[in-house]
Chains A and B, each alone.
Chain A
Amino acid sequence: EVQLVESGGGLVQAGGSLRLSCAASGFPFSNYWMSWVRQAPGKGLEWVANIRQNGGESERYYVDSVKGRFTISRDNGKNSLFLQMNSLRVEDTATYYCARKGDGRVDHWGQGVVVTVSS
C-alpha cells in the first residue's frame, strides 16, 4: 500500500525557516516524480514544487511565489522527500501535502501537515 506521511510542520515567525519531510513507502520511490502542494485556510489548491526522479538542480520546479525561498529535495536511498522553507511569510500559512505523480496525474497524497507563519 502506498503511504506518504508528512512531518515537520508547526508555528514559526515571519522570516523564519521550517523543513518539511515526507516519508514514502509501498512503492519504488526513486521511480516517481514527487510534489509539494499547499492549501491556505479556506482557499484552493496551489502547486508549490515538483522534483523529477533523480532530483538534480535542473529537475526541480517551483511556483514563482516561493522561488529563491523554498527548496525541494529528495533522498532516494531513504525514500524521503523534503521541502526546506526559508524567509517564511504570513501568506505561506497552509496545509502542505506531499504527493506522488503516477501516470500523468498525481495519484497519491499524504494527509498533510500544517504550517502557520505568524507576524
Chain B
Amino acid sequence: DIVMTQSPDSLAVSLGERATINCKSSRSIFYSSNNKNYLAWFKQKPGQPPQVLIYWASIRESGVPDRFNGSGSGTDFTLTIDNLQAEDVAIYYCQQYYESLFTFGPGTKVEIK
C-alpha cells in the first residue's frame, strides 16, 4: 500500500497570510502514460464530511476559491492557502488514488494565530 505522510501536524497562521501544507507519498503516484499525479486534497470541518479542494494534484474543484493551490509531482506535493480566512480553519488531508485502494495522509490542522 502507498503510505501518505503530511507535515506539519498543525500550523497557526495569521489572517491574510499564507498556509503551506506538505504531503509525501511512499512511492511515485505519477502515471506517465497520461502525465497525471493521482493526488487530491480535502478539507474537513468538525461534524462535516470532507470536501474535495484539489485533484490531479493541481486542478481546483469547481467552486473552490482560487486562494487554494496544489502543486508537486511524483512523491512530493504541496497545498498552499493564500490570504487565509477564518473559514479556512479545518483539517486538511492529502489522498492518493493511484492504487485501487486509496489512502489518506494523517491530516494537518490549520488554525488562526
- Bind each other: yes
User: A residues near B, CB below 8 A?
Assistant: 35, 44-47, 49-50, 61-64, 97, 101, 103-107, 109-112
From 21 to 74 in chain B, residues with beta carbon under 8 angstroms from any chain A beta carbon are 36, 38, 40, 42, 44, 49-52, 55-56, 61
User: B residues near A, CB below 8 A?
Assistant: 1, 36, 38, 40, 42, 44, 49-52, 55-56, 61, 91, 93, 95, 97, 100-107
A104-B56, A105-B55, A107-B61 are known contacts. Are A44 and B104 too (CB-CB below 8 A)? Answer: yes
Q: A64-B1, A109-B50 known; 19 other A-B pairs, CB under 8 Å?
A: A44-B93, A44-B104, A44-B106, A45-B50, A45-B93, A45-B104, A46-B104, A47-B103, A50-B102, A103-B55, A104-B36, A104-B38, A104-B97, A105-B55, A105-B61, A105-B97, A106-B40, A107-B61, A112-B49
A44-B93, A44-B107, A110-B49 are known contacts. Are A104 and B102 too (CB-CB below 8 A)? Answer: no
Of the residues B51, B52, B104, contact of A47 by C-beta under 8 Å: B104
A64 surroundings in chain B (CB, below 8 A): 1
B107 touches A101 (CB 8 A): no
B44 touches A45 (CB 8 A): yes
B107 surroundings in chain A (CB, below 8 A): 44-45
A45-B44, A106-B40 are known contacts. Are A61 and B101 too (CB-CB below 8 A)? Answer: yes
B51 surroundings in chain A (CB, below 8 A): 109
Total A-B residue pairs with C-beta atoms closer than 8 Å?
60
Distance in Å: Cβ of A26 to nearest Cβ of chain B: 16
CA–CA, A9 and B104, complex, Å: 23
> Which 3 interchain pairs have the tightest Cβ spacing?
A105-B55, A109-B49, A105-B40
Distance in Å: Cβ of B95 to nearest Cβ of chain A: 8
CA–CA, A46 and B40, complex, Å: 15
B100 touches A50 (CB 8 A): yes
CA–CA, A46 and B95, complex, Å: 10
Most buried by B among A49, A61, A64, A105: A105
A104 touches B55 (CB 8 A): yes
Distance in Å: Cβ of B46 to nearest Cβ of chain A: 10
